[in-house]
Amino acid sequence: TSIEFLEETKIDLFPSEVFVFTPQGDIIQLPYKSTVLDFAYAIHTNVGNRTLRAKVDQIGAPISSELRSGQTIEIITHKKAKPHPSWLQIAVTVKAKSSIKTILKEESTSELIQLGEYLLTNALQYQGGDKPIDDEKWQRCLEDLKCTSKEELYMKIGLSEILVSIALNKLQSENGTDLIKSINIRQTKGKSISFAHCCYPIPGDKVAGILTSTKGLVMHRFDCGNLIHAKQKNEQWLEIDWQADGSEEFEALIRVQVENRRGMLASIANVIAKININIEHLEVEEKDHSMKALNLVIGVANISQLDEAMYEIKSLEFVQLVERI
């Protein structure tokens, strides 16, 4: 059936993983959009920690290069090479990120503390905070952000595990009430910001963020049921003025209700590719062994690009309905 064919081919069309080779011919499997640096850590933690430069298909390439299936990757190491805080913005895999943070905490603790203190002090001065912060506010800030000391707070800011604006909000609050009810965000890469998969927020949406101890600031669309529930439970949250600069890509979920036809999937993939949009994930809804709808996760820069993609898909004659979920 067309359903079986789709299940067999969608992995090739819309990969969730990449398969690359070592110079010895060994296959390394990594998540889609992994980088050369992730590959180095997949080989061995010590290889990742000592990465100096790399070659992709025998040509020199930055360690930030995104991997594509079929490539051969060679990592050049040096005993004096070591992780840099900027690597946290390059790594994608959990293993790479956690390994980098471990080394940074062990070998660069003083540098991270100095960086975090510098960022927070500058932010306080910029906000006109000439008066010293009293001990009570410091203690309340540390407790709210799950830190045992100022040094730990500074280090987490240096590691981008805590946003400067969040710490600033806590320190400038009055009687435990946050003064700042909203924050401005332009870039999210490398920061302690994640996006809820219950509503898939993108630039152009009205959004808010829930403060968590494990994922940092988690963005939701303002009308998301989970956000509303979190507010009712009095969880910490902030409105977000999201002025994205267009350099990043975000995931959006759409449902395409279709009339089952031969070549349907290829047609949808083609119209989306023409406007330079990637399909990140695909799920099929079936009824009576026939395709009823497709749930697509696509990568877009903002809501205007999403609208364009939905318009192009809707123009196909076999498409009955396109809606954002």
Please report the domains of the chain, with CATH numbers, ordered by start residue: 16-93 (3.10.20.30), 108-179 (no CATH), 181-248 (no CATH), 250-324 (3.30.70.260)
Say what the pLDDT of residue 20 is.
93
pLDDT 10s digits, 42-75: 999 999 999 999 999 999 999 999 999 899 999 9
Say what the pLDDT of residue 176 is.
53
DSSP letter (8 states) at residue 134: P
What Cα–Cα distance (Å) separates residue 315 from each residue in 150, 309, 321? 57, 10, 10
Burial status of residue 69 (CB atoms within 10 A of its CB: 0-12, 13-18, 19 or more): middle
Say what the pLDDT of residue 3 is.
45
pLDDT confidence bin for 1, thresholds 50/70/90: very low
Tokens of 240: 């977000």
Q: Is the pLDDT at 2 greater than 60, yes or no?
A: no
Q: Is the pLDDT at 21 greater than 50, yes or no?
A: yes
Question: Mean of the pLDDT values across residues 110-118?
Answer: 80
CA 73 – CA 92 distance, rounded (Å):
17
Tokens of 200: 């898939």
Provide DSSP, 122-185: HHHHHTT--SPPPHHHHHHHHHHTT-SSHHHHHHHHHTTSS-HHHHHHHHT-BTTB-S--EEEE
Q: Is the pLDDT at 40 greater than 80, yes or no?
A: yes
* Model confidence pTM above 0.75: no
Tokens of 242: 């999201």
Question: How far does CA 252 lie from the centroid of its chain?
Answer: 13
CA 115 – CA 21 distance, rounded (Å):
38
**Type of residue numbered 98:** S
DSSP letter (8 states) at residue 91: -
Per the listing, tokens 């110079």 go with 23
CA 153 – CA 162 distance, rounded (Å):
8
Q: Is the pLDDT at 127 greater than 90, yes or no?
A: no
Say what the pLDDT of residue 191 is.
66
Give the mean pLDDT of the chain.
83
CA 322 – CA 142 distance, rounded (Å):
46
Tokens of 154: 């500074």
